[in-house]
Structure formats: structure tokens, C-alpha cells
Amino acid sequence: MDDDILSQGDDREPRQWPRRLGLVAALVLAVIAGVVYLVLPRHQQPATATAPVTPSASAIPTPISVSGNLVIPGQPPEPDGIVIRTLPWASSLRLPVAGPRPTWFWPATGRSEPIGGLPSDSAGYQFDRVDGGWAVQADSAAKIGCDGCAGIAMPAWFLADGARSATRVGLANLVAPAASTGALWLTSYPAGANAETAVGTAREVGPTGALLRPPVRLPAGYVIEQGTDRGLLLAPTNPVPGTGAARLWNPGSPQASRTFDDVLAANSTEIVSTPRCAPTCRVQVLNLATGKDTVVRLPAGDSPTNGSFSPNGRFLALQLTSAADGALATQLDVASVGSGQLTRVPGTWVSSDALAGFGWPDNGDSLIAEFNFESTMQLTSWHPGASELSLAVIKPGPTQASLIIG
């Protein structure tokens, strides 16, 4: 799973976003409005997008500080970014903020508090979403002392959803989610082992660090992506496109592996992959227990680039990319895993470099997304079935917040 880091994109070109015109009281104002409409550059918004609104000065909430940044819950004070009618944030939703001293952060109020059990570390921390919480490790990339090696063993912690402190579960080079709630796969390599050919030893541990089964030796050159009810989903350290790169591997019967191209997401019971787009793209959700494939058909011209399951497995968030006027645009959609029906998340059609990441960071159905724009960074929340987003704006400060959303 990828880390989701909210940071300012200094190399991005500024984009003009549509502004809502005022009510026309006279013919002269109508003419002026028409001229403005013709000359202003326009962002490629879908025809069904919610009409943007510009808040009055009295509607802009007081900025809130997050790791030295100013956060404005609600609508942005400037038209740089998503400008859309929004809903209040859920008061219970909290996100980890990574860095040398990780904290919990509540977008609804801007309140934060330290996460216990994690010692201060100048290299910062990485958070990986697992069933029931996060696997946490110090950023080993900042501490690797050799080129091409598999890294060094680092302490690993489990942070349960909403827990005030993390629990140390062992030492590992790599950590991956297991099939059971709160369980982790910890993989270790010999010192100085080559990252592309190393044979790792993996052990499954519970949320307290207790060993759940005997250790297993992984195939050379593979790492664990996800533990499932039918074995381990493995990814090659040096993938070759079009060769069925990912493998569903059972240590008890290693010859019965199944391969997958372009895995977008996985959980303990399902794997999402996408075959070649001919003539249009589609996404296949394989139920490992039944063998049933649910097909999600995508709009013409859209291709999937990433995916994320909701905690209960009912929904699949997809990042779809398409070309518009010679540039790449991206959009968040959510599919029902049961029916394959696709729903567009309102207000999330943006330039492809603006979406920093997305995920489901608690046990509910809150899809959180991060967006980086020229002068603002934005955080959104959306529930399947809702017609509007919750939105918070983060203005750049002395340091950059690293909000972990999935």
C-alpha cells in the first residue's frame, strides 16, 4: 500500500477554476458576464458536476493549524482547487499525521494529539493501512546504507483504528497486511541481500506481536502485497509488464499459483485487476471464495490507475484517468462490489498531477482524498450515495503536513 503525503507541488502550473457569476440585475451586467465567460480559461468539469459556489467572507471559518499549516474546514477562500458546495466533516473522523512525532488529527475541528508508543525519529514514519488499523515503521529509506540491497530490519508497530498508542510487534525489513483483523506479515532478509533476488522469511503476527503460524520462505524476488484467505498475494521486486506479474501463492501448495496482470487493489477475500483495454477498459473483482468475477465497466476513454477497498469490502474506489485537450485529467469513482455499478465522486475531476492519494482511513464508509494545487492543499471526504463533499483547505506553512489517508 502506498503512503499518502500531502505536500505542496512547487513545479505545477497554475490552473484557473470556474467562478460562479452573480445574479444578473440588468442587461449591462449580463453582457459583461458573457464576455467574462468567453475569455476566461475553463477547467474540464463533467457536465454533471455540482455548480461551484464562492463563499462570502463571513462564511470562511477560522484557519486551523496542522503541523505548521493553516487548515480551513469548509469551502476554500480562493478559486485555486475544488470549489463546490460542501457538507460538515464527521466529528469522529481522525487521521494519522506522519513525521518525526506522529499525531492524530480531526479535520472537523483541527484538534490534534500525539500518538503514544512511537518514539521520536528524525527520519519520520511510514503508515500502511491494514485491516483494523495501520502498520507503522520508521522511514527505512532514509537509513539504508547500500545500493540495491533489501534494506535493514526496523521496529514495526500496530496502530489500531482510534487507538491512543501503538503496540510494537517485532522487527522486519517489510510489513504487509494479513487476512485477519490486526494481523501483519513481517518479512526479514539477510543483511546486505539483493533486493531483486533476495529470499525473504515471512512470519504472521497478531496485534500484540504474538506469532500466529510458523514462518514461511518466500519465492526469490517476491514480496507480500496482501495476505488473503486463499494464500499470499505476491508482487515481484522487478516486474515485467504483461507477464502476470502478481501471484496468488499458497505456501502449502506452491505449484498451484494463479497470476494477475495490473492488480489495482486487494483485501483478504478479493483481488482487483484490469485486463487490456480493448476497445474500452474494465475492472474485474475476483471473489476468492466463490471464484466469481464482478465486472466494472468504465466510461469510454477512461483507464484505471489505482484502487482501494472500503473496510467492509462493499465499495471499491477507483482513480480513472483520461485525456482532455491534450492533457491528462483524473477522476475518483466508486463501484459497488456486489453489482459493479459505478458512481462518480462529485467535484473530483482535476488535473492528473493534483490528486495526491485516496483511501478509507477508518471503519466507516468515508472515502478521503488529498489534492495539491498551486496555492492550496485540500482534503475531501465523501460517503457513497452523498451528493456533496466535505472539504478542508490547508495553506502552506513552515512545514508540510503528512496526512495518512489509506
Residues in the chain: 406
Residue 5, pLDDT score: 33
Write down the pLDDT at residue 115.
Answer: 97
Span 88-122, pLDDT tens digits:
899 999 999 998 999 999 988 888 999 999 999 98
pLDDT band for position 256 (50/70/90)? low
Cα Rg, the chain, nearest whole Å: 22
Q: Model-level pTM greater than 0.85? A: no
Return d(Cα 118, Cα 101) in angstroms, integer: 8
Q: What is the pLDDT of residues 187-220, one digit of tens each?
A: 999 888 887 888 999 999 999 999 999 999 999 9
Asked if 43 and 16 touch (Cβ cutoff 8 Å), the reply is yes
Q: Which is nearest to 202 in space by CA: 194, 264, 212?
A: 212
- Binned at pLDDT 50, 70 and 90, residue 152 comes out as confident
Which candidate, 214, 218, 115, places its Cα nearest to that of 174?
218
Name the one residue in this structure whose C-alpha cell is 525473504: 200
Largest CA distance in the chain: 79
* DSSP line for 203-245: EEE-TTS-B-S--EEPPTTEEEEEEETTEEEEEESS--TTS--
CA pair distance 174, 70, nearest whole angstrom = 34
More confident residue, 33 or 263: 263
The stretch 232-251 carries a mean pLDDT of 83
Average of per-residue pLDDT values in the chain: 78
Partnered with residue 283 across adjacent β-strands are: 296
What average pLDDT does range 235-259 have in this prediction?
A: 80
Report how far Cα 389 is from the mean position of its chain's Cα atoms.
17
pLDDT at 73: 53
Q: Can you give the pLDDT at residue 84? A: 66
Lowest mean pLDDT among 6-20, 223-237, 246-260: 6-20
The pLDDT tens digits of the residues spanning 28-51 come to 333 333 333 333 333 333 333 333
357 or 151, greater pLDDT: 357
Predicted confidence at residue 383, as pLDDT, reads: 93
Task: Give the residue from 184, 167, 163 showing the smallest Cα distance to 175.
Answer: 184
Q: Is the pLDDT reported for residue 245 higher than 90?
A: no
Give residue 142's pLDDT.
54
Find, among 167, 178, 228, 180, the residue nearest to 203 by Cα.
Answer: 178
DSSP run (H or E) holding 33: helix 27-39
Q: What percentage of the chain carries pLDDT values higher than 70? A: 73
pLDDT value of residue 304: 94
User: Three cell numbers at 364?
Assistant: 466507516
* pLDDT at 257 (0 to 100): 78
CA distances from 213 to 156, 206, 216, 367 (A): 18, 10, 9, 33
What span, in angstroms and rounded, lies between the C-alpha atoms of 171 and 182?
Answer: 16
Contact 74, 61 (CB under 8 A): yes
Could you tell me the three cell numbers for 136? Answer: 507503522
Q: What is the pLDDT of residue 255?
A: 72
- What pLDDT sits at residue 53? 28
Q: Which residue has the higher pLDDT, 13 or 80?
A: 80
Separation CA 37–CA 325 (nearest Å) = 19
**Portion of the chain with pLDDT greater than 90, in percent:** 48
The span from the CA of 171 to the CA of 326, in Å, is 48
Asked if residue 77 lies in contact with residue 403, where contact means CB atoms within 8 angstroms, the answer is no
Task: Specify the pLDDT at position 8.
Answer: 29
- What grid cell was written down for 104? 492524530
Using DSSP bridges, classify how beta strands 389-395 and 86-87 pair: parallel, antiparallel or unpaired.
Answer: parallel
Angle (nearest 5°) at CA 321 between 380 and 49: 50
Mean pLDDT computed over 292-300: 92
The pLDDT of residue 19 is above 50: no
E-assigned strand segments in 58-116: 64-66, 69-73, 86-87, 95-98, 103-105, 112-114
Q: Is the pLDDT of residue 303 over 80?
A: yes
**More confident of the two residues 196 and 339:** 339
> 252 in helix, strand or coil?
coil
Q: How far apart are CA 155 and CA 288, in angstroms?
A: 32
Which H or E element spans position 186? strand 184-188
Measure CA 172 to chain center: 23
Rounded (5°) CA angle 139-6-4 = 55
Q: Which of 130, 138, 144 is nearest to 185 (CA)?
A: 130
> What mean pLDDT do residues 127-138 have?
94
pLDDT beyond 50 at 144:
yes
Interatomic CA distance for residues 205 and 183, integer angstroms: 6
Cell 482534503, located at residue: 379
